Amino acid sequence: MTGGVFTSPPLTEFNVTVDGQAVAVTRSGFRRRAVSVPPQVRDLRVESRLFLRLAAPVPEGAVVVVTNPGAALWPAGFSFAITASPLRLSHAIHVNQEGYTTTLPKQVMIGYNLGSLGELPLNPALGFSLVETGSGNTVFSGPLTRRADAGFTMAPLPYQEVLQADFSAWQTPGEYRLQVPGLGASLPFLIADGMAMNFTRAYALGIYQQRSGAPVGLPFSRHSHAASHLAPAQVPVPSASFVKAWQNIASVNGNYNLNPRHTAPRLATEADQLFPFINASHIDVSGGHYDAGDYSKYTINSAQMLHYLTFAVDSMPGVAALDNLGLPESGDGISDVLQEAMHEAAFLSKMQDADGGFYFLVYPKERKYEDNVLPDQGDPQIVYPKNTSATAAATAALAELASSPTFQNLYPALAASYLQKANLGWQFLLNAIATYGKDGCYQKITHYGDVFMHDDELAWAACAIFLATGDANAHSLLRTWYDPSDRNTRRWTWWRLFEAYGCATRSYAFAVSSGRRTAGETDAAYLTKCRNEVQGAGDYALTNSLNSAYGTGFDSASKRTRSAGWYFS
């Protein structure tokens, strides 16, 4: 490497034999990638790979030896040798290592990047075989098809040599490897009806390990710690006693005036609050789930999580009876998903001040992130001020859980108490709008919940209150505040179901099937708009997947702008 540019060694530096016969090297390539960078003590690990293109293909079973006669690249006497076994491990064959179910689609992508040599050219005529791991017998064979990526505008276009193997027709449970002539074989994988449960279990374990206020550990998880952040959080008043906290608040909303609709005073000091703290001492905010790798708990994110869990219980077949996810509550006859939602709701309900408003988040008192301690050794915490976006989100989420037929049947008293809190939050919002105006009552605190100011959270709150209570005024406000067919209510005009607008749309679209309202109580035209938006989101995700060589769903907008995209299995 010279100045970050790869300079190929002379091809005479390589001597390659195949079964003892010399084979010429026609080209060489290089690829370098970071493998790991530990965050605490920087220890960058880099993987470097050198690729050689030969003048003739390597037959199956042949022994390939690579030496460096001049010893300029590696020590004399050292060589690389491998047997081109038909079942040698190939990094070009990308299976779902978790496995496949018997009846759902089963696809494998074949492709590889050779660094400076570009993509590995592949011939679809090779075909593929499904090999039983134990016996080595071929049980299924099929053709390979091109799966070129679509949507990128760069040159050269990436992912144009990717092939797809489809063995959906094979439905016999067992352990297998996928083999391609000349390439080798994949890692072993299972076909079994329990594979989908492994994904569900992985998600459930991830959520369980994010629990706050409860012990986490064996036999449910090997990542153990005692119950965490049990001490009450402080309210940051008077501000003279919480200088760092107010500095942090002011540091994240300095750009509030970039939005001309943000007419409320900037929330930078205690005196700027439109809605001052009423409970001004210590507050029990234990429970819930941590937001990420740190131990903060954002009201808006918590509310959306509560929506996803509640929606799954109410609207996805079988979830209300899913009681075997390997959590402490498993086996008690109550859906594990519902109980994880209850753990979140128990925290969220504590975030309400006496006037009905909800605090924005729970945060360390003296710094931004607790990134160097276990949660049970975490910092003293505070709550951030109230604002209308956090209040609307919490109001909506608690109203949704309170109106869940499954939750009501199991916990009628708790459902009633959550609905009471939701109604108090809704009244807070109506009072705030009446006092300051819809725009004037919103004070930005951080970027969370700020994409549409508080418009999406207000729409979600109106939707949830209507679905929970039948409130005609909330129903009218929902239709006034939010048109699901308006492209401007999508993130960047194309990302459907974004944040709280998505929560409102899903909730209304499934209002009847979830048992909250009857068909006659909903607005038929509005219901159609919500259902169309849900359908459109699904179609868009499917299109992105079909246009992605590896089926990841990398969206076309990100491809056009060459920006980061999210990959899913």
Judged against a pLDDT cut of 90, whether residue 568 lies above it is answered with no
Decide: 287 and 298 in contact? Cβ < 8 Å.
Answer: no
Give the mean model confidence (pLDDT) for residues 9-38.
Answer: 93
Q: What's the pTM?
A: 0.91
Tell me the three state secondary structure of residue 282.
Answer: strand
Residue 339 CB: number of other CB atoms within 10 A? 19
Residue 532 buriedness (CB in 10 A; 0-12 / 13-18 / 19+): middle
Mind listing the pLDDT tens digit for each residue in 133-181? 999 999 999 999 999 999 988 889 999 999 999 999 999 999 999 999 9
What ranges in 174-293 are assigned the alpha helix state H? Answer: 195-209, 243-251
Mind listing the pLDDT tens digit for each residue in 388-438? 999 999 999 999 999 999 999 999 999 999 999 999 999 999 999 999 999
The mean predicted confidence, pLDDT, of the chain is 94
Judged against a pLDDT cut of 90, whether residue 309 lies above it is answered with yes
Within 8 A by CB and 6+ apart from 132, the residues are 138, 139, 174, 175, 176
Integer Cα distance of 84 and 123 in angstroms = 18
Within 8 A by CB and 6+ apart from 431, the residues are none
Decide: 275 and 357 in contact? Cβ < 8 Å.
Answer: yes
222 φ/ψ angles, rounded to the nearest 5 degrees: -85, -10
DSSP letters of 342-386? HHHHHHHGGGB-TTS-BBSEEEESSSS---SS-GGGPPPEEEPPB
CA 52 from chain centre, in angstroms, equals 38
Judged against a pLDDT cut of 90, whether residue 331 lies above it is answered with yes
> What are 530's two structure tokens?
């919500």
Within 8 A by CB and 6+ apart from 224, the residues are 215, 216, 217, 218
- Give the torsion sign (CA, 295, 296, 298, 299): positive
Residue 222 CB: number of other CB atoms within 10 A? 9
**Could you tell me the domains of the chain?**
11-83 (no CATH), 93-193 (2.60.40.10), 194-387 (1.50.10.10)
Judged against a pLDDT cut of 50, whether residue 569 lies above it is answered with no
Q: Return the bridge partners of 191, or none.
A: 100, 174
> What are 113's two structure tokens?
């990047």
CA 175 from chain centre, in angstroms, equals 29
511 φ/ψ angles, rounded to the nearest 5 degrees: -60, -40
Q: What is the largest distance, in Å, between two alpha-carbon atoms of the chain? A: 88
Mind listing the pLDDT tens digit for each residue in 439-468? 999 999 999 999 999 999 999 999 999 999
Share of the chain above pLDDT 90, in %: 85
Q: Describe the crossing of helices 336-348 and 195-209 by its angle, rounded to 10 degrees.
A: 20
Integer Cα distance of 171 and 104 in angstroms = 9
Cα–Cα–Cα angle for 96, 101, 105, rounded to 5 degrees:
75
pLDDT reported for residue 76: 85
Decide: 278 and 369 in contact? Cβ < 8 Å.
Answer: no
Q: What is the residue type of 444?
A: K
Judged against a pLDDT cut of 70, whether residue 567 lies above it is answered with no
Decide: 565 and 554 in contact? Cβ < 8 Å.
Answer: yes
DSSP letters of 23-55? E-EEEEEEEEEEEE--SSS---EEEEEEEEEES
Mind listing the pLDDT tens digit for each residue in 164-223? 999 999 999 999 999 999 999 999 999 999 898 888 999 999 999 999 999 999 999 999
Mind listing the pLDDT tens digit for each residue in 489-520? 999 999 999 999 999 999 999 999 999 999 99
Residue 31 buriedness (CB in 10 A; 0-12 / 13-18 / 19+): middle
Higher-confidence position of 420 and 293 = 420
Within 8 A by CB and 6+ apart from 359, the residues are 283, 285, 299, 351, 352, 353, 383, 384, 385, 386, 390
Kindly indicate the confidence band of residue 565, based on its pLDDT and cuts at 50, 70 and 90: low
pLDDT reported for residue 1: 62
Within 8 A by CB and 6+ apart from 309, the residues are 337, 338, 340, 341, 344
Q: What is the residue type of 372?
A: N
pLDDT reported for residue 552: 82
